[in-house]
């Protein structure tokens, strides 16, 4: 019996204490017709050795080619100390810190995390995490509707340059509350929002404008002008940022004259492994005046009965366990362990580390762009400045490129054909600080080979059809 | 025993109502309500100029472990709110019928006052 | 001490950061950061020591017993964690083409099949990232179902007054009004109150069974019948699935849709507040509306199904695949237990709970529902102790911490005064349960002999009771660097 410690003698003593003959008697309040027979479709149990043998074999079918895909999840170096410390049982197997006296470790760590996120984003306050970047954006939109008391419309300007999965998840989560997401097109040359596309909304009642920096294409938006325009029209600014990029980029708290109102994003780049898609964590920070509208847990510093400093969850009357149907969100369990890792990661990186990681990622992209655009029939699609991702356009089907480079052990990039078919054959490629000169060289030569092969094939076909 | 001043009117949802004149009613929460909630840490008030119907949610009083809506006992227009509560929500605990008042209403229909409880009725309601 | 107080300017963990700062040529100055963020500037050892010391201030399953009702704090097997941490899983990008992801997809597909078997449902989506998101997904599916039928009048979700706060919060997030149903004296739903509430406005009901009161809802089949006849659907909150795992199934009780908390029933670690995973399961009726992505299988192997394969889906609820690594852990745990091990979970969880209930009553404590069998958890009420000794449930909970035992869930459900909700789980030994009973007996003795010892507890932890009121009134939620 895996993980059940009872001996036969224990069971007998316990049943006697209860006053029943057998364990089955304890289920006598359940209607008898509901009981099922054996779970025949479930495989038999395995001990740890057998499971290890099975799963090691299976893991080999999960390939890890050299990764040039970003699109919301980024490969970074993770110091060994991050997870060796975060995986300590006292962090990993602790419950939510509702019993403050027995949770000072987690609580102080979250306080430190909140401080780091507020610092990075340039905002006044931050929460203890949300599920991921996409749901953080959904929550930020809901929060903006609560915060913008001058607006009654529940209309949100949602640029098409925001990650499509974030837009979809946000729509799916907020539409039942009568919130409308208005799609804003991007400039086809620059790949960023054009202020002219917004002016048509100048006289409408709009609740908030979402600005992603960098945007889904890796391009840098003109955040000062956009923020300024929004605030002049009583529109709140919800910013979605990559935390690594904030080692280099202007924090949202300094956008325009008064800064973004709510900031959110995906915390995965901060020491969280790619891990097939999760668990990651969403983060959120905001201006002080909006703190009571912020969803999720918040830790505060206070004193104990002896005047000693300590930490506790605070403003809990916003949350579902107290406010029930009137809570700011239904979120309960969040992403505590990932926050633990991120806090350790940021402590190890420090301001210098984060800046260097961001700068290397950026420099690697510049190098890659220079090399691949030197190849025939490859162009960079947008003119705007980039952080560490860019859109490449090909004359050949990207499906084939992905397949060919896959054979060479390379993930070539994320194809835009599903969500942006109008852009043609495009790949979103990403480089982080993990990419060496040899990796970049490998990518370029594999791509060159693929394109050449393709041209030859095409040429042969042309000859034949002649 | 909580304090239930005789000269005030009450609602079942634990608001008290003081009639200053035909154009001004003062609203707060009762001593009984503040005792149940415990130390208040935040009071959310309606906006001045807002119109409310009898029974509308017009604010929230919040302690560490509970939050409770405040319902407008009559219909009318909010003409003032107690701004001191923003910094000192504890006034509701220390002086619920005085410095802890929440907001003032210009009533639409004074007849609604007859639907409210007397001190005696309210006393019976909370026992 | 905060990590910020350990910082010194220009110190950093040298082996962790790139050796150079390349010149940044491609980003205009007006988009650049002008001053560095005030992140910690510490050595690797300083960081490791700081956070290791912080960890030691915590209670955890690895170090303490958690009789924490409604939370199922069971042992989190280390082997599961180790296997989920294999490089090929950890370094795998979520947008990797399916043909390179077969190992992971196969595990998820198997998990879907196992969850179907234990819930008695026909479809599973693993996407929701926690119980509350599973609830949202389930209620959104109910909404999609009524809308697809052109049934637009139903705008109300019924929720028992004993329900977890996420139930009404999730229903409201889906745009529904919430109607509370009273609980009867015996702990079951008040059927008359239910009958009165049901009608053409009813979209559905959210129930936990066994309920949050620690008893099995005996008239569940009748309730299901009533709700279905009124045109509503039944949502099962899987918070208490540990009580019935492998013995009875929500699908057979008449539920249409449900979520599971894998971080409870399937032993994935709580992580100090998360991550969890809250897959949804459904019967035939709501199958088309499951959130995406879902793992499918065809002749080429396993593949992701999205909006194209599932045109009526309520859509995606996360950027990628929910909390993938937690799903993997739940799969590995289920494979270790297997078809015989899964039903033993509920057997021994129930044995442990009923043993504690019997023994704690012997010691003098009062059960909230003395005539009922405990499920995997039960409620004590300290109403009498509050009257006799002026001791609250909170005092007892805080004093337990001094005995090295985590506090039970307190003051939930709200309808039982001065309550402690106690759930031992199946992984605790009789010795541990006996130690808990001894502690509860000692505390009972203290109520009579030294009540102040309880009122000021805990005495042996890093801090004593914290001033929550100060924390809320004088908000200090980020460090002030000027201090």
Q: C472 to chain B: which residues are within 8 Å by CB?
A: 41-42, 64
Q: CA distances (Å), A85 to each of A354, C173, C271, C335, C344, in order?
A: 20, 37, 12, 28, 34
* pLDDT on residue A466: 42
Cα distance between residue C1 and residue B112, in whole Å = 59
When scoring A152, A298, A317, A326 by the number of chain B Cβ atoms within 10 A, the one with the most, hence best to mutate, is A317
Task: Give pLDDT, residue A271.
Answer: 98
Question: Which residue positions in chain C have pLDDT lower than 70?
Answer: none
Best CA proximity match to C95, nearest among A439, A340, A164: A164
Scanning C231-378, the segments in alpha helix (DSSP H) are 250-253, 262-265, 324-363
Bridge-based pairing of strands A389-394 and A410-411 is unpaired
Q: CB of C160 within 8 A of CB of C211? A: yes
Fold of C344-468: 3.90.1150
Chain A touched by B63 (CB under 8 Å): yes
Give the C-alpha separation, C65 to C401, whole Å.
Answer: 10
Nearest by Cα to C284 from C121, C479, C161: C121
Query: Looking at the partner chain, which of A45, A106, A120 has a beta carbon nearest the beta carbon of C337?
Result: A45
Residues of chain A with pLDDT under 50: 462-466
- DSSP characters over A156-197: EEEETTS-HHHHHHHHHHHGGGT-EEEEE-B-TTTSSB-HHH
Contact state of C132 with A125 under an 8 Å Cβ cutoff = no
Alpha-carbon torsion (C123, C126, C132, C133), positive or negative: negative
Interchain pair B42, C472: CB under 8 A = yes
Question: Which class is A351-465 in CATH?
Answer: alpha beta
The two three-digit tokens of residue A415, written as one number: 């194809």
Q: Is A58 on the interface with B (CB under 8 A)?
A: no
Handedness of CA A53, A55, A59, A60 (dihedral sign): positive
Count of Cβ atoms closer than 10 Å to residue A33 Cβ:
8
| Sole residue written with tokens 């009404």 | C168
Give dist(CA C207, CA C323) in Å, integer: 25
Give the residue among C475, C221, B119, C10 at the shortest CA–CA distance from A315: C475
Instruction: Please check whether residue A56 touches B, CB under 8 A.
Output: no
Partner-chain residue, chosen from A42, A92, A173, that has the shortest CB–CB distance to C339: A42
C373 secondary structure, DSSP code:
P
- Touching chains, A (3+ CB pairs < 8 A): B, C
CATH number of A80-346: 3.40.640.10
- In this prediction, residue A1 carries a pLDDT of 72
* Chain A to chain B Cβ contacts (< 8 Å): 19
Structure tokens at A59: 């893991």
Whether C202 and C156 have beta carbons less than 8 Å apart is answered as yes
pLDDT for A325? 85
- Give percent of chain B with pLDDT exceeding 90: 93
Return the SS3 of A237.
Answer: strand
| Chain A residue nearest residue C4, CA to CA | A112
* B75/chain A closest Cα distance in angstroms: 22
* Among the listed residues C82, C115, C111, C95, the one whose alpha carbon sits nearest the alpha carbon of residue C321: C95
Query: In a 10 Å sphere around its CB, with 0-12 CB exposed, 13-18 middle and 19+ buried, how is residue A240 labelled?
Result: buried
Closest partner residue to A322 among B41, B47, B66, by Cβ?
B66
DSSP count for chain C of H helices, then E strands: 16, 13
* C469 vs A364: CA distance, rounded Å: 51
Q: Which CATH fold would you assign to the domain C79-337?
A: 3.40.640
Please say whether the beta carbons of C129 and C276 come within 8 A: yes
Q: Which tokens belong to C246?
A: 């492998």
- Quick check: C472 and B90 CB within 8 A? no
Sort out which chain B residues have CB atoms less than 8 A from A322's CB and list them: 65-67
| Run of H or E including A92 | helix A89-92
Residues A352, C224: Cα–Cα separation, whole Å: 61
Nearest CA in chain A to B60: A317
CA-CA distance, B24 to C444, in Å (whole number)?
55
Angstrom CA distances, C135 to C99, C138, C168, C238, stand at 32, 5, 10, 9
pLDDT digits (tens, 9 = 90+) for B44-96: 999 999 999 999 999 999 998 888 999 999 999 999 999 999 999 999 999 99
- pLDDT of B2 > 90? The answer is no
Q: Give, rounded to a whole angstrom, the gap between the first and last alpha carbons of chain B.
A: 9
What angle, 0 to 180 degrees and rounded to 10, lies between the N-to-C axes of helices A437-465 and A336-372? 60
3-state helix/strand/coil string of chain B: CCCCCCCCEECCCCEEEEEEECCEEEEEECHHHHHHHCCEEEEECCCCCCEECCCCEEEEEEECCCEEEEECCCCEEEEEECCHHHHCCCHHHHCCCCCCCCEEEEECCHHHHHHCECHHHHHHHHC
d(C-alpha A466, C-alpha A382), whole Å: 37
Minimum distance, in Å, between the CA of residue C169 and any CA atom of chain B: 15
Question: Of A363, A32, A169, which Cα lies nearest the Cα of C318?
Answer: A169
Gap between the Cα atoms of C255 and C285, Å rounded: 11
Nearest CB to A322; choose among B44, B47, B65: B65
With contact defined as 3+ CB pairs under 8 Å, the chains touching B are A, C
Structure-token pair, residue C340 = 């015989």
Q: What angle do CA A130, C408, C441 make, to 5 degrees?
A: 165
Question: Could you tell me if A453 lies within 8 Å of chain B, comparing CB atoms?
Answer: no
CB-CB under 8 Å, C12 with A352: yes
| Residue spans of alpha helices (H) in A249-380 | 320-323, 336-372
For residues C481 and A121, give the distance between their C-alpha atoms in angstroms, rounded to a whole number. 16
What are the E-state strand segments in A381-465? 389-394, 410-411, 414-415, 426-430
Burial letters for C133-168: b for 16+ Cβ neighbours within 10 Å, e otherwise? Answer: bbbbbbbbbbbbbbeeeeeeebebbbbbebbbbbbb
* Residue C251: per-residue pLDDT: 98
Q: Do C79-337 and C344-468 fold alike per CATH?
A: no
Would the CB atoms of A275 and C54 count as touching at under 8 Å? no
Are B64 and A149 in contact (CB < 8 Å)?
no
Q: Report the b/e string of A140-170 with b at 16+ CB within 10 A.
A: bbbbbbebbeebeebbbbbbbbbbbbbbbbb
d(CA B73, CA B114): 11
Domain ranges of chain A: 8-59, 80-346, 351-465
CA distances C34 to A122, B96, C21, C239, Å, are 12, 50, 16, 49
Give me the sheet containing B51-52, strands edge to edge.
B9-10, B15-21, B24-29, B103-107, B76-81, B51-52
State how far the Cα of A85 lies from the Cα of A89, in Å rounded to an integer: 9
Cα C422 versus chain centre, distance: 15
Structural domains in chain B, sorted by start: 9-109 (2.40.50.100)
3-state secondary structure of A116: helix
User: B63: number of CA atoms within 13 Å, CB side?
Assistant: 15
Q: Look at B67 and A322 and tell me if their CB atoms are within 8 Å.
A: yes
Identify the bridge partners of residue A156 per DSSP, sorted by sequence position.
Answer: A181, A208
C249: closest chain A residue by CA? A34
Partners of residue C469 in chain B, C-beta under 8 Å: 39, 41, 63-64
B62 touches chain A (CB under 8 A): yes
Alpha carbons A66 and C221: distance in angstroms, whole number: 55
Per-domain boundaries in chain C: 3-24+34-55, 79-337, 344-468
CA distance C275 to chain B (A): 25
Residue A460 has what pLDDT? 60
A300 touches chain B (CB under 8 A): no
Residues of chain A numbered 306-335 and touching chain B (CB < 8 Å): 316-317, 322-323, 326
What are the CA-CA distances from residue C90 to residues A279, C66, C96 (Å)?
Answer: 11, 30, 13
Report how far residue C265's alpha carbon sits from residue C238's, in angstroms, rounded to the nearest whole number.
Answer: 9
Alpha helices in A6-79 (DSSP H): 8-18, 48-59
Comparing alpha-carbon positions, the chain A residue that sits nearest to B41 is A315
Whether residue A149 lies within 8 A of chain B, CB to CB, comes out as yes
Give the pLDDT confidence score for residue A454 in this predicted structure: 78
Cβ contact C288:C312 at 8 Å: yes
Side-chain half-sphere CA neighbours of A56 within 13 A? 8
DSSP 8-state code for residue C295: E
> Looking at chain C, which residue has its C-alpha nearest residue A44?
C338
């Amino acid at each position: 019996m895996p993980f059940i410690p009872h001996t036969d003698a224990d069971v007998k003593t316990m049943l006697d204490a209860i006053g029943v003959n057998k364990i089955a008697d304890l289920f006598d309040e359940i209607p008898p017709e509901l009981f099922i027979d054996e779970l025949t479709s479930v495989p038999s149990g395995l001990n740890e050795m057998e499971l290890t043998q099975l799963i090691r074999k299976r893991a080999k079918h999960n390939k890890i080619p050299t990764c040039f895909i970003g699109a919301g999840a980024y490969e970074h170096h993770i110091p060994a100390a991050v997870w060796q410390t975060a995986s300590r049982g006292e962090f990993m197997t602790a419950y939510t810190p509702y019993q403050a006296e027995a949770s000072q470790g987690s609580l102080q760590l979250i306080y430190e995390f909140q401080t780091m996120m507020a610092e990075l984003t340039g905002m006044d306050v931050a929460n203890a995490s949300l599920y991921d970047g996409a749901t953080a954006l959904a929550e930020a939109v809901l929060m903006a509707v609560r915060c913008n008391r001058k607006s009654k419309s529940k209309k949100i300007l949602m640029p098409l340059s925001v990650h499509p999965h974030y837009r979809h998840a946000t729509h799916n989560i907020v539409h039942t509350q009568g919130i409308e997401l208005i799609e804003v097109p991007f400039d086809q040359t620059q790949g960023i929002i054009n202020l002219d596309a917004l002016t048509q909304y100048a006289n409408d009642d709009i609740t908030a404008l979402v600005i992603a920096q960098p945007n889904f294409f890796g391009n840098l938006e003109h955040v000062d002008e956009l923020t300024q325009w929004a605030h002049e029209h009583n529109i709140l600014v919800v910013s979605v940022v990559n935390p690594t990029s904030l080692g280099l980029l202007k924090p949202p708290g300094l956008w325009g004259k008064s800064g973004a109102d709510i900031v959110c994003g995906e915390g995965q780049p901060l020491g969280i492994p790619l891990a097939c898609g999760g668990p990651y964590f969403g983060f959120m920070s905001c201006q002080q005046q909006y703190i009571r509208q912020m969803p999720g847990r918040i830790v505060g510093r206070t004193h104990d009965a002896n005047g000693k400093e300590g930490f506790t969850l605070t403003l809990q009357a916003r949350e579902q366990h107290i406010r029930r149907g009137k809570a700011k969100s239904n979120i309960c369990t969040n992403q505590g362990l990932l926050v633990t890792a991120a806090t350790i990661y940021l402590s190890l990186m420090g301001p210098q580390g984060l800046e260097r990681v961001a700068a290397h990622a950026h420099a690697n992209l510049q190098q890659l762009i220079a090399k691949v655009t030197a190849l025939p029939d490859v162009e960079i699609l947008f003119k705007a400045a980039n952080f560490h991702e860019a859109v490449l356009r090909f004359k050949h089907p990207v499906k084939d490129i992905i397949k060919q480079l896959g054979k060479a052990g390379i993930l070539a990039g994320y194809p835009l054909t599903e969500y942006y078919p109008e852009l043609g054959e495009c790949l979103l490629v990403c480089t982080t600080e993990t990419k060496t000169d040899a990796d970049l060289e490998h990518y370029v030569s594999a791509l060159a080979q693929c394109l050449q092969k393709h041209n030859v094939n095409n040429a042969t076909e042309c000859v034949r059809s002649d | 025993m909580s304090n239930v001043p005789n000269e005030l009117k009450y609602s079942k949802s634990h608001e008290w109502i003081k009639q200053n004149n035909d154009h001004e009613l003062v609203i707060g929460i009762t001593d009984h309500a503040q005792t149940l909630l415990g130390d208040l840490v935040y009071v959310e008030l309606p906006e001045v100029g807002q119109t409310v119907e009898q029974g509308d949610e017009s604010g929230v009083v919040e302690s560490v472990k509970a939050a409770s809506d405040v319902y407008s006992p009559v219909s009318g227009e909010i003409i003032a709110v107690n701004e001191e509560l923003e910094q000192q929500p504890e006034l509701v605990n220390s002086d619920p019928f005085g410095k802890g008042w929440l907001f003032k209403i210009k009533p639409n229909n004074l007849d609604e006052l007859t639907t409210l409880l007397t001190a005696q009725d309210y006393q019976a309601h909370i026992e | 001490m905060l990590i910020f107080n350990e910082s010194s300017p220009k110190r950093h963990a040298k082996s962790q950061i790139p050796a150079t700062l390349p010149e940044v040529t491609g980003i205009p100055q007006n988009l650049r950061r002008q001053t560095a963020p005030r992140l910690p500037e510490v050595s690797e050892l300083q960081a490791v020591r700081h956070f290791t010391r912080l960890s030691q201030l915590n209670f955890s399953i690895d170090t303490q017993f958690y009789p924490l009702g409604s939370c199922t704090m069971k042992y989190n097997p280390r082997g599961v964690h180790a296997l989920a941490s294999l490089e090929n899983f950890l370094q795998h990008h979520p947008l990797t083409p399916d043909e390179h992801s077969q190992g992971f997809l196969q595990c998820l597909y198997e998990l879907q099949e196992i969850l179907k078997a234990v819930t008695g449902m026909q479809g599973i989506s693993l996407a929701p990232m926690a119980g509350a998101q599973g609830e949202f997904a389930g209620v959104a599916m109910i909404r999609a179902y009524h809308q697809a039928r052109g049934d637009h009048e139903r705008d109300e979700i019924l929720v028992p007054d004993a329900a977890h706060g996420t139930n009404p919060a999730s229903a409201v997030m889906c745009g529904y009004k919430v109607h509370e149903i009273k609980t009867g004296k015996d702990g079951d739903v008040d059927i008359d109150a239910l009958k009165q509430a049901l009608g053409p406005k009813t979209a559905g009901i959210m129930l936990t069974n066994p309920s949050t009161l620690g008893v099995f809802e005996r008239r569940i089949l009748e309730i299901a019948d009533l709700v279905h006849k009124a045109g509503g659907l039944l949502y099962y909150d899987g918070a208490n699935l540990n009580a019935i795992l492998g013995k009875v199934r929500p699908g057979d009780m008449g539920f249409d849709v449900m979520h599971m908390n894998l971080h409870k029933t399937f032993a994935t670690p709580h992580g100090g507040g998360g991550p969890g995973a809250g897959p949804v399961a459904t019967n035939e009726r709501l199958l088309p509306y499951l959130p995406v992505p879902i793992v499918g299988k065809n002749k080429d192997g396993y593949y992701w199904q999205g909006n194209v394969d599932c045109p009526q889906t309520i859509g995606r609820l996360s950027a990628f695949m929910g909390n993938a690594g937690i799903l993997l852990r739940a799969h590995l745990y289920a494979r270790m237990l297997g078809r015989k091990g899964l039903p033993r979970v509920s057997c021994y969880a129930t044995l442990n709970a009923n043993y504690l209930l019997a023994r704690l009553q012997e010691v003098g404590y009062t059960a909230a529902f003395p005539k009922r069998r405990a499920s995997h958890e039960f409620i004590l009420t300290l109403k009498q102790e509050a009257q006799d000794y002026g001791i609250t449930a909170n005092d007892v909970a805080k004093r337990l911490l001094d005995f090295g035992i985590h506090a039970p869930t307190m003051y939930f459900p709200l309808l039982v005064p001065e309550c402690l909700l106690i759930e031992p789980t199946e992984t605790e030994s009789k010795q541990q349960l006996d130690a808990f009973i001894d502690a509860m007996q000692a505390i009972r003795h203290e109520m009579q002999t030294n009540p102040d010892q309880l009122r000021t507890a805990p005495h042996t932890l890093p801090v004593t009771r914290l001033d929550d009121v100060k924390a809320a009134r004088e908000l200090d939620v980020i460090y002030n660097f000027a201090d």
